[in-house]
Amino acid sequence: MSNAFHAVLDDRAVLRAHGPDMYDLLQRLVTGNLDQVTPGNSVYSLLLTPQGKFLFDFFMVRDPDQEDALLLDCARSRAGELQKRLTMYKLRADAAFDDVSSDFAVAAQWGEEAAPLQGSASYVDPRGAFLGSRSIVAANDVEAVIGKAAGETATVADYRAFCVSQGVPDGALDIGADKAFPIESNLDLLNGIDFQKGCFVGQEVASRTHRKGKARKRLVVASLDGSPPEAGSDVTIGDAKVGSVAGSAGDNVLALVFTDRVAKAQSTTASAGGSTLTLKVPGYAAFSLEGSPE
């Protein structure tokens, strides 16, 4: 059986960022470093509130059709809000953010034997190579490109289940906009924030949390025994509330937990919505759920 999968992600939209002032504008706004966006290399980035809370996440990719333009691979459900927010920030800057979703499709490839799609703008997932690769394909070429792809054709739901199993959140589904801090959802560990690049909106709070070296709350993945609990459900160990459910897919749940409370409970077996969860730290992270809390 092949261990390679590919799926067209029809829950993603594409914005084109362009104009003489676009680069300087975005470099001052977003958490990713535009200097690192090159042919074949994408940057995962966030737009935060001035208070350092999460608003949007997206991938920045070189536009193969327009020199000095970028394509932003973002959640379709929030593309209009992202476009509006970026346009609000531009003021007198000569920059524009156009929805070009009808011209492009986004695809993902994952699994040990997966390979980037040929005939597309493909790049290793900047959040981590363990997630495979992503591609932006001209809409007219999708069928031909996908038809040549190695491995099995999968769905958006399959990709979602894979990401959740790896402890990787979807910003539009698992993180409360203007409510959560990005470090709590491990976005710093997923290369979502470049702390060396200079200024960005919300930098002061994000940098201060980073310098402390420890976030009290972190996102963990949990195997599920029972029905998927609703997002927002309390996660408890015994009688103690240790966190809440962020989202779920397949046989796994994402939970935002207080690591010190889990450590104090001296157990990683939890409950949520009447189901049993076995909490564990995602493979890409180094924090612990064990030992004496601070």
CATH code of the domain covering residue 32 = 3.30.1360.120
Instruction: Establish if 183 belongs to a structural domain.
Output: no
Query: What is d(CA 243, CA 255) in angstroms, rounded to the nearest whole number?
Result: 7
Tens digit of pLDDT for each residue in 166-215? 999 999 999 999 999 999 999 999 999 999 988 999 999 888 877 776 78
Give me the domain span that covers residue 269: 216-294
Q: Please give the tally of structural domains in the chain.
A: 2
Lookup: tokens for 271: 């409950």
- In the prediction, which pLDDT does 294 show? 40
Same domain, 20 and 91: yes
Q: Is the pLDDT of residue 291 over 80?
A: no
**8-state DSSP, 230:** P
Query: What is d(CA 8, CA 67) in angstroms, rounded to the nearest whole number?
Result: 25
Tens digit of pLDDT for each residue in 101-114? 999 999 999 998 88
- Residue 279 dihedral angles phi and psi, to the nearest 5°: -80, 140
Same domain, 271 and 136: no
The structure's pTM equals 0.94
